[in-house]
């Protein structure tokens, strides 16, 4: 009798399920696209999979912004900014290979000033 085994994981990096909101937009030379919002399914150090409202063109470049959870009691807003290329897309989900990323930390004083302006 054969037993069913788990499929072999082909991804090189460990994936983490993070139910965070991601803002994204297509970046094309000479045009500006609008920002859209999705929910992250999982991510690794070199890729993000997220729910979206419709299919994205495979191969296109995306700009991504994620409000990153701050440590408890930290008076800072932390944002993960990234760019990458769509490697898979369906009607409600997309996967992006990250090409560049930066973690930006905005102190509370600057957050208060930007809220007033």
Domains of the chain, CATH where assigned: 21-116 (2.30.110)
CA 27 to chain CA centroid, Å, is: 15
Is the pLDDT at 117 greater than 60? The verdict is: no
Mean pLDDT of the chain: 82
Question: Worst-scoring range by mean pLDDT, 53-57, 63-67, 72-76, 82-86?
Answer: 72-76
pTM higher than the cut 0.75: no
Residue 63 token pair: 């700009």
Tokens of residue 106, six digits: 């905005």
pLDDT for the residue numbered 10: 55
* The pLDDT value given to residue 109: 47
Give the distance, in angstroms, between the CA of residue 14 and the centroid of all CA atoms in the same chain.
16
pLDDT band at 8; cut points 50, 70, 90: low
**What's the confidence (pLDDT) of residue 19?**
82
């Amino acid at each position: 009798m054969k037993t069913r085994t788990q499929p072999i994981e082909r991804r090189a990096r460990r994936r983490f399920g993070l139910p965070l909101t991601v803002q994204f937009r297509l970046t094309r030379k000479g045009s500006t696209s609008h920002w859209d919002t999705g929910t992250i399914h999982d991510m690794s150090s070199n890729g993000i999979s997220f729910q979206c409202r419709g299919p994205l063109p495979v191969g296109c470049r995306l700009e991504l912004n994620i409000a990153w959870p701050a440590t408890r009691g930290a008076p800072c807003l932390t944002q993960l900014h990234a760019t990458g290329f769509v490697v898979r897309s369906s009607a409600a989900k997309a996967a992006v290979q990250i090409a560049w990323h930066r973690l930006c930390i905005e102190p509370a004083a600057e957050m208060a000033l930007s809220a007033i302006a």
